[in-house]
Structure 1
Amino acid sequence: MITVDIFAQQTVLVVGLARSGLAAVRALTAGQATVIAWDDAADRRDAAAAAGASLLPPADMPWNIAAALILSPGIPHTHPEPHPAAQLAQQHDVEIIGDIELLVRAMPSAKIIAITGTNGKSTTTALLGHVLSDAGEEVAVGGNLGIAALDLPVLSHQGFYVLELSSYQLELTPSLACRAACLLNISADHLERHGGMAGYIAAKQRIFNNLRADGLAVIGTDDPTCMGLADSLRSAGRRVCSITGSAAESAVAAAARDHLNVQHGQLQWHHHGSCKAIFDLTKAAALPGEHNAQNAAAVAAIALDLGITAEAIAAGLIGFAGLAHRQERVAVINEIAYINDSKATNADAAARALACYAPIYWIAGGRAKTDGIAPLKSYFERIRHAYLIGEAAADFAASLSATTSYSITGNLADAVHEAHQLAQGEALPGATVLLAPAAASFDQFDSFEARGDQFRGQVKQLAQASRLTTEVRP
């Protein structure tokens, strides 16, 4: 745990006591702050009290003496409307920050590598942590992924904190100063929380605001927003390495700027006018598709800048096992692959999975995001049959082309059963049963993880019942 002593002998308020909020309570209490906390869930309040916090609802908190409000990133402080705690903080001129800001202030010399993006940030964060650790570096991985930042260990001056940061977290971290900062991509998401697309973009690009003097900005250039940001940062004199999961920009990059791209499966580094092949990505079984090629390019860009050799990077990429719920290969039954991509909660994320397989027995639906599955029209020809679930089922059915067959199964269990029966009955070469919902999970599940866990569990039962199973993920 990281002790936060910058508010020693002062009163700090914490609202929201999930993983990051509870970690903040522990870190502040260890640093001799007086912590007053609240969460609507009684079990979370009990955990905070056990960690040393006093409990008061926001309306009863002593705002007149508070040094700061530590707000859970999931609680709105601006749009669509501020939470009552945020309103009270603003009325009393109390600073609103998050747990990542506490880490930054408590450890100003820490070497932080931060990764954000609409899609791919969890895989990229975990992959970078794996590559650096495999190369012998001291590293701790967390933030929005896995371990709360303040629950990470205290590293030496040589160590690296590799943090996945959401747009919500970035808004609450004004002092972030990274050794390397990566923005993978931007597409419409969480727009109601940021007051529209402009607000969402502004939140994401905050990751570059205070780059260290030796800091590197790594930016995916597969979308026009990020490409424009890369050009702006270069014009401002920042060190920038652009990345893409395709062959795009390779000629320009080789001539004029640092860039990593992928051509014919080869990860290539364009640096000072030369081009060097880093790795054959076809050897990385856990990184399928162009989107994962971009993730690998981001990792390589950062690792190379830190002095990691191309050989060590290649070894790390090969050894990466992948993350749960992100194109997780659950099983292969009678040569049919079963893929859990429950994290694909919007159309852009689902497109990255749909592009990797054919023919597809597609399980989709839930609580729809903006535009539903209309942006996926170009992938419909890859779909052998769609199984639609949740609130979005009828709307998704209306969006599918006249030539795409579908069933409205309503729930995930029936969808998996029916997809399995048809896929095994047809036994088409290269076929895949794919859970890539293109929708949030909250209509039927507590989280995308719960949805993916159910898919995995049901597939494993099917695999155990089959004599033709050739692969099951532990």
Structure 2
Amino acid sequence: MTPVTVFAGRKVALFGLGGSGLVTARALQAGGADVAAWDDSQASRDKASGQGIPVVDLAAADWSGFAALVLAPGVPLTHPVPHWTVEKAKAAGIAVIGDIELFFRERAKIAPAAPVVCITGTNGKSTTTALIAHVLRSAGRDVQMGGNIGTAVLALEPPAQGRIYVIECSSYQIDLAPSLAPSVGIQMNLTPDHLDRHGTFEAYGAIKERLVASADVAVIGVDDEASKQMARRRAASGRKLVRISGEQPVDEGVFAGVTANAGTLETRIVQVLDGKPRIVANLAGIGSLRGSHNAQNAAAAFAACFALGLSTDEIASGFKSYPGLAHRMEEIGRIGRVVFINDSKATNADSTEKALTSFRDIFWILGGKAKEGGIESLRRYFPNIARAYLIGAASDLFAATFDDDGRVAYERSGTLDIALAAATRDALAKPGEGEIAVLLSPACASFDQFPNFEVRGEAFRALVKALPGFEAFGTPTA
């Protein structure tokens, strides 16, 4: 844990006692702050009390004595309306901040030179975060990884000289972190998301841009127009900028180049320094970095690790041993030439699109609780589908799409176990050579049959591992 000493001897209001909120409260207490915590949930309040955290009804509290309000990132700051605690904090004239802000204030106090990499973007930030941390660890560095990826930032070891932090940041967290100042800040990409929390796409983008605007080195993807504009503004500031792309060459920076070799496509990471390109890594054969979306992730990871002083060989070696993230294009194993892919995290069509571009001859398991638009946007990838297996509440909707299109053979499996058995049977019976995939990429939420995508993915993994002849791959990062 990182004790937060910057509020020692002062009273701090805290709202939101979920996982990160409990960690934040304990970190403030460990640093000497007087914490007054509250949550709308009685169960959460009881849990906090059981851990020795003072629970105070903030609605009835005297806010004039508080030095700050620490807000959980999931609580509305501005939209659709500010939470009532935010209004009370404004009336009292105190700052509204989050745990990322507390971390950066503590870092500035005790170890301002401790390297910190912060990663944001609409898509790919978790994989990029995990990949950077893995490469750094594989090169022997002291690494702490956390933030939006799962481990609360204040649960990490305290900032120290030579200890590198790799932190995934959501827009919610950035909005509560005015002192955010990473050594390397990465903005992956930007598409409309979380507009209910930020009001407009422009406001959402402006929040994301804060992370790279304040960084010593800004690594910015240029595969979408909004991020390109961020890169232009950063370049105009005269501060260090590294452009990255998973789709096209850049004049200066890091990009992914795709070439054909013996009938297969190989992705190479190319660094351009002083206008001179050089190949620095080859992703061929690295299953955990398969697909065009991972090309941008790898380009960002290379740029960050290179900026932190790693050699090209150290980075390329780290790429080769990267196990991937659970439930995100996770290669579980194979039976012969059939590889089994757990992409349970793909809870909408945009996420599933990345999986459908990564394979040919896909035996596709999909369905669950459908999102708006269903799988209509995926029609152009239907030629990659050998057969589809429908599960869950979306079966009728998706069957109608397939019937209308006419290119995809499918069956209504109903449940995941039946779908896997059928897909495995058909994949093993398919003649030919070369790799084929049994792919769970649902394009749906899980809530009709599973409590969350993790449970759905774990069920798929367990079913696959029980298949006769199964050979496992490496263990993914949770």
Q: Common fold, TM-score beyond 0.5?
A: yes
2:264 is matched with: none
Taking the aligned partners of 1:88 and 1:104, their CA distance within structure 2 comes to: 25
Residue matched to 2:105:
105
Give, in whole Å, the separation in 1 of the partners of 2:447 and 2:95.
32
Residues 155, 4 of structure 1: alpha-carbon distance in 2 compared, 3 angstrom cutoff: closer
Q: Distance in 2 between matches of 1:420 and 1:189?
A: 36
Aligned to 1:286: 288
Secondary structure at 2:341 match in 1: strand
Greater CA drift, 435-444 or 310-319: 435-444
Separation in structure 1 between the aligned mates of residue 450 and residue 189 of structure 2, nearest angstrom: 27
Normalized against structure 1, the TM-score is what?
A: 0.90
Instruction: Count residues in correspondence.
Output: 461
Shift in Å, 1:472: 5.2
Residue number among 170, 173, 180 corresponding to 1:176 in the alignment: 180
Note if contact 1:338-1:432 (Cα within 8 Å) is conserved in structure 2: yes
Residues 3 and 28 of structure 1 are in contact (CA less than 8 Å); yes or no, is this contact kept in structure 2? yes
Q: Provide closer, same or farther for how the CA distance between residues 16 and 386 of structure 1 changes in structure 2, counting only shifts above 3 A.
A: farther
* Residues 77 and 87, structure 1, Cα contact 8 Å, conserved in 2: no
Partner of 1:240: 241
Looking at structure 2, the residues matched to 92 and 410 of structure 1 have their Cα atoms a distance apart, in angstroms, of: 55
Measured against aligned partners, the alpha-carbon deviations of 1:336-369 in whole angstroms (never above 9, x if no partner) come to: 2211112223333211111111211222334444
What TM-score comes out, normalization by structure 2 length?
A: 0.89
Q: Secondary structure at the match of 2:59?
A: helix
**8 Å contact from structure 2 (residues 222, 228) kept in 1:** yes
Consecutive unaligned residues of structure 1, counting only runs of 5 or more, are none
| Residues 340, 456 of structure 1: 8 Å contact kept | yes
String of CA shifts for 1:183-206, please: whole Å, max 9, x gaps. 111223223222232232222222
The answer for unaligned runs of 5 or more in structure 2 is 260-266
Q: Which residue of 2 aligns with 1:115?
A: 119
The answer to whether structure 1 residue 204 and structure 2 residue 199 are counterparts is no
Query: Could you tell me how far apart the structure 2 residues matched to 1:88 and 1:162 are?
Result: 33
Is 1:299 the counterpart of 2:301 in the alignment? yes
- List aligned pairs for 1:392-403, cutoff 5 A: 392-400=394-402, 401-403=405-407
- Residue by residue over 1:72-92, the C-alpha shift from the partner in whole angstroms, topping out at 9 and shown as x without a partner, is 212222223333333443444
1:271 Cα shift?
A: 0.6
- What is the aligned partner in structure 2 of residue 446 from structure 1? 451
- Give the structure 1 partner of residue 231 of structure 2: 230
Alpha carbons of structure 1 residues 458 and 81: separation in structure 2 relative to 1, 3 Å? farther
Aligned twin of 1:89 = 89
The correspondence for 2:366, drawn from 352, 364, 367, is 364
| Aligned CA-pair RMSD | 2.3
Change (3 A) 1:348 1:87: same
Structure-to-structure mapping, 1:68-79, within 5 angstroms: 68-79=68-79
Once the two structures are superposed, the pairs formed by residues 371-410 of structure 1 within 5 Å of their partners are: 371-400=373-402, 401-410=405-414
Identify the range of structure 1 (144-153 vs 361-370) with the bigger mean alpha-carbon deviation. Answer: 361-370
Distance 1:447 1:96, change over 3 A: farther
Contact 1:37 1:54 in 2 (8 A): yes
The sequence identity of aligned pairs, in percent, is 42
- Does the CA contact (< 8 Å) of 2:249 and 2:257 recur in 1? no
- Whether the aligned pair in 2 keeps the contact of 1:138 and 1:155 (CA below 8 Å) is no
* CA distance in 2 between partners of 1:90 and 1:415 (Å): 54
Aligned amino acid, residue 282 of structure 2: D
Residue 416 (structure 1) shift: 3.1
Cα distance in 2 between the residues matched to 1:415 and 1:42: 41
Deviations 1:415-446 (A, max 9, x none): 33443343344466532121222233344433
Partners of 1:206 and 1:445 lie apart in 2 by 37
Relative distance call for 1:81 and 1:427 in structure 2 (3 A) is farther
